[in-house]
Structures are given as C-alpha cells and as structure tokens.
Amino acid sequence: MHGLVGDRGRGVDGQSPVGDVDADIADPFDPLDVVATMLGANLGGRLIATMGAKRLGVGGMGIAAAGLLVPALWPTTPATVAGVSVGALGIGALFVVASATALGRIEPAEAGVASGLLSTFYEFGASIGVATVSSMAAASLVGGDGSGFQNAFLVAATAALAAAVVAGLTIPRSGRSAHPVPCGSAPDACLSGSVATH
C-alpha cells in the first residue's frame, strides 16, 4: 500500500503532472500505513489464540479489502487516508497468521529455512503488488485524469478479497488448545502450534 499511496500525485519522474512543483501530498500517508500495520499485527497476535488462524486470516483480508475499496469509490484525500489505514490494519493481522501458520508446525532444525522463505515471499509479494498497482496509477498521470488510482485501489481490494477466499480454503482447521495462550503473554506459543488455528 505504501508504494501505491506513497507516490500518489507524482509522475514517474517525481514531479506533479501539472508542472515542475513536487507534489508532497503523500507525506501524511507514510507514518499512517506503518502505524496501522503495526496495530493490526499487535491485535492479530492477541486474537489468534481465541479466534484461530483461519478466522483471523479471512477477517484480516476482509478488513483489508473493505479499506482498499474506500478510495476506489471515493477518491478524496480523507477517504484515501481512512481506507488505506483500515486496509493496513487488516494486512497487519494477516502477517501474524502467515507467520504462525508457516512456522508453527515445523521442526526447530527447519525454522531458519522456513523463516527465510517466509521473508522472501513477503518481499516478493509486496514487490509484485506495488509494481502492478503503481503502474496502473502512474499510467493515468500521463493523461492527467488520475482515474488510474481508483482502478489501482479497486484491483488491490479485489486481490485482498481473493486472498480472504484463499485463506479460508487453505488455512487448516485444527482443534483448539485446551488452554489457549495469548501470543502477547507467551510469544513462543504462537509459533509452537499450541494456539488455535481454526
């Protein structure tokens, strides 16, 4: 999201599409999406033990889809700030689900390789997503209408909704722990498989 929003209003050369003045309207977005993502991850860490990974993953991506749909429908600065913040909150929760499901049931000897693969695919996915939606948004700057931003947010919202469906179909259900441990009080519980993953 930062790649899409961080360059909102700027051409590919970093200049405003209407002249040589740098358009710094994106600066308020920089900290907001980071804070919202961290808040979503923090809440996700607390909720995974009670909700389970499947419900948290589907819910997180549903929240992300709803948030990203807001600037697609209402392309104003306040709507974009609010929508992107809500979207980042949902994506933050998904980071917890991805880590817990990818690392929670592996042998300790495989933890380094699994963690490396997880980090690689986080970066790979982010790169593909940013390249796709930023290209859509930037293409509209040439014509000067900016409608590509709405299209890019619509594509991002659709991708988040598709990810919610995939999460619902692929994250395994398993029995709840007899005594679920919140990740905040015992972080190792989230990675040891002792938290609920349904």
Give the total number of structural domains in the chain. 1
pLDDT tens across 140-180, in order?
Answer: 777 777 788 898 999 999 999 999 999 999 998 764 443 34
Q: Residue 151 falls within a domain, yes or no?
A: yes
* Domain with 37 in it: 27-192
Q: Residue 129 falls within a domain, yes or no?
A: yes
Q: Residue 72 falls within a domain, yes or no?
A: yes
Q: Residue 7 falls within a domain, yes or no?
A: no
The CATH number of whichever domain residue 64 belongs to comes to 1.20.1250.20
Q: Residue 136 falls within a domain, yes or no?
A: yes
Q: Residue 16 falls within a domain, yes or no?
A: no
Q: Residue 12 falls within a domain, yes or no?
A: no
pLDDT tens across 61-119, in order?
Answer: 999 999 999 999 998 889 999 999 999 999 999 999 999 988 888 888 898 999 999 99
Q: Residue 122 falls within a domain, yes or no?
A: yes
Tokens of 140: 């509209």
